[in-house]
Structure 1
Amino acid sequence: MKNVVLIPGDGIGPEITNSVTTILEKAGADVNWVRAKAGLTAHEELGTPLPDETIEAIEEHRIALKGPLTTPVGAGFRSVNVALRQKFNLYSNIRPAHTLPSIESPFRDVDLVLFRENTQGLYIGKEQWIEEGENKKHSEAIAVVTEEASRKIITAAFEYAKQHERKKVTLVHKANILKLTTGLFLEVGRKVAKEYPEIEFEDLIVDNMAMQMVMRPRQFDVVVTTNLFGDILSDLASGLVGGLGVTGAANIGDDAAMFEAVHGSAPDIVGKNLANPLALLFSSLMMLEHIDQKAVAENIRKAIYKTLVEKKVYCTPDIGGEGTTSTFTQAVCDNI
């Protein structure tokens, strides 16, 4: 049995976590949950958004499944998500975007996987104020891109393409303007691509990429990019298939992994039995595949798809149904 650290999170987190653990138990997943706290709830209860006990649990077990966390905007504590990714060097953020049955979208047959470098770029948080005199403010932010980190994420994207029989990797950059940082990323990408001659390689400037994704998303297969661009484009990719509520996410390093729902904590619907657990559920399937329980993951995926076809009765209102968290959970369990 595999020990997995379970962080329910804030807001609707405990509700969707309960749904996911119920479904995985029904499917026979060989998982032992080690419960831990993080986020605003932990901050209010324990005085810190990331308790030492939670870090120690992840250090011991190396796998975590995490619900949504609340991060204050502009002030307050720093993002726990970023802190965990940097603490455990979870350099590879993986965000699949697949067209789902009965989920409304103007796009069909979207099937792309976005790899985002997860530890560098502007998200290292190196910012400072520069004094310019009275009544003047000047702020600066520093972006860091290294050859080593670039090679790791780009290689991860190519390895994924190879293992999943994907045909193309698209590298996204802004090397026409940011010549040293994303220029280095592009340079490394071209070198890595030569090691995988069987996989088509292309590079696109980020603004063109954004346009192409909303015009012809089916042309993309595996996409790899830097931290900031990946943050933006992965949400855009989710929007192509129905939003953040229907897409999973993984953060994987060399010796640890965290799987999470990247949508918000939705405090307005807490306790109303209306929370959609699909994002965390798809993240949990990525987790099951990571720990070599692929058959269980595929069984659950088939049950989800069957439930979505019957969504009017069972699914939550945000994806066009008239059901609740409970009816969706029960329907998936019945379809397993």
Structure 2
Amino acid sequence: MQYYSLAVIPGDGVGPEVMKEALNILHVIEELHGGMKFDSQTFDWNCDYYVKHGNMMPANGLEILQDFDAILFGAVGSPLVPDHISVWELILPIRRRFEQYVNMRPIKLLHGLESPLRNKGHDDLDFVVIRENTEGEYTNMGGRLYQGLPYEMALQNNVFTRFGTERIIQYAYDYAEHHRRKNVTAATKSNAMNFTMTFWDEIVKEVSGKYPDIHTNLYHVDALAAYFVTSPERFDVVVASNLFGDILSDLGGAIVGGLGIGPSGNINPEKKYPSMFEPVHGSAPDIAGKGIANPIAQIWSVAMMLDHLGFKEAYDLILDSIEKVLIDGVFRTPDLGGDASTRELGNAIANTLKKTAGIK
């Protein structure tokens, strides 16, 4: 029996609702596999916690998390707390402290769903966005001067190090090679950002030279966004800086059915620190408490966690079960055109898992 420690942070809004269904799927996988067991500990670090304590997590929160094998995150954000506080005091410190420098986002049209893109099918929409996750445009360097005065100013610095840039591009090519992908597309804007993005381009060219069998595309991010819509079939692996990857991956989610189904992994490839897995849909306060949030993104994030820990067969089984439920079409939440509840869709996926494995 392999034992794993799992930190669970349900967060805000619909986070606790979808997390409950995801943990149920994890319990089914434990029963199915028989050789793995997760010891889960739940932490109530969210915006309500901030209102009570003045911070998003305890002062020793990162020390508490560092010994876990993985972190499962729900969502963060509430009208009670400004977004820059909830994000900068919870998610971003975790990503940076644990060197989760890879943000992995599959862009895959699941069977049973249709893309909003006319004439684009499942073979056209199956790639991955690999986003640099710890520096770039999302560095806490800058400030504001003369607030409230006519000459007020704000400064936000973009920071690209050779170490950080090289390792994310290297990861993208290694991923492409390992998964037998034919091309890597790098997002740039070197025609306008003449320091950081020319630096990025140079490192793309250096790293790509080590992989002669993988074709490299270097596209300006605005053109790349257009290609996501007009010809997504051209992509296998897309690698981008922090800001560009954030925007492109959300666009990718939209063309495969919406953010309600999109998972992500914040990965420390060396496994020196725990990686964190979360849906990308946010806390959705407008539907929180109504029981209609789509749990697929959180469930798929569990599958990504299992794959990261070495259980690829569990990943495949969960994804196959999700697709079977979608193909059947009986249980769909409102964002997918149905009237099923979060619980009903989660149970349908769990029951499909059990049926596939012969568990009564």
Give me the TM-score of the superposition, normalised by structure 2: 0.88
- Mapped to 1, the partners of 2:148 and 2:313 lie a distance apart of 64
The CA deviation at 1:186 is 1.1
Please say if 1:48 is aligned against 2:55.
yes
Q: Deviations over 1:236-282 (max 9, x none)?
A: 11111011111110111232311111212122322222111111111
- Alignment correspondent of 1:277: 295
Task: Specify whether residues 92 and 76 from structure 1 end up closer, same or farther in structure 2 by C-alpha distance, changes over 3 A only.
Answer: closer
1:13 pairs with 6, 12, 15, which one?
A: 15
Matches within 5 A, 1:12-91: 12-28=14-30, 30=36, 31-52=38-59, 54-70=61-77, 72-73=81-82, 76=85, 78-79=87-88, 80-91=90-101
Task: Specify whether residues 297 and 45 from structure 1 end up closer, same or farther in structure 2 by C-alpha distance, changes over 3 A only.
Answer: farther
Q: Mean alpha-carbon deviation: is it higher for 42-51 or for 241-250?
A: 42-51
- Mapped to 1, the partners of 2:339 and 2:73 lie a distance apart of 27
Task: Specify whether residues 135 and 209 from structure 1 end up closer, same or farther in structure 2 by C-alpha distance, changes over 3 A only.
Answer: same
Unmatched segments (≥5 aa) in structure 2: 354-360
- Alignment correspondent of 1:3: 5
- Alignment correspondent of 1:95: 105
- Mapped to 1, the partners of 2:348 and 2:17 lie a distance apart of 16
Please say if 1:150 is aligned against 2:157.
no
- Give the secondary-structure state (helix, strand or coil) at the position aligned to 2:156: strand
- Alignment correspondent of 2:327: 309
Amino acid at match of 1:230: G
The CA deviation at 1:53 is 5.2
- Give the secondary-structure state (helix, strand or coil) at the position aligned to 2:233: helix
RMSD of equivalent CA atoms:
1.9
- Give the secondary-structure state (helix, strand or coil) at the position aligned to 1:61: coil
Task: Specify whether residues 303 and 128 from structure 1 end up closer, same or farther in structure 2 by C-alpha distance, changes over 3 A only.
Answer: same
The CA deviation at 1:137 is 1.8
Aligned partners of 1:7 and 1:36 also within 8 Å: yes
The CA deviation at 1:230 is 0.8
Q: Aligned residues, how many?
A: 335
Amino acid at match of 1:127: G
Amino acid at match of 1:42: Y
Aligned partners of 1:38 and 1:69 also within 8 Å: no
- Mapped to 2, the partners of 1:118 and 1:236 lie a distance apart of 17
Q: Deviations over 1:152-197 (max 9, x none)?
A: 1001111111111111100111112212111111111111111111
Q: Deviations over 1:55-107 (max 9, x none)?
A: 22321114111001116447645532222112222111111110112323223
- Give the secondary-structure state (helix, strand or coil) at the position aligned to 1:269: coil
Give me the TM-score of the superposition, normalised by structure 1: 0.94
Aligned partners of 2:300 and 2:318 also within 8 Å: no
The CA deviation at 1:134 is 4.8
The alignment-based identity, stated in percent, is 34
| Runs of 4+ deviating beyond 3 Å | 71-78, 130-134
Matches within 5 A, 1:183-202: 183-202=198-217
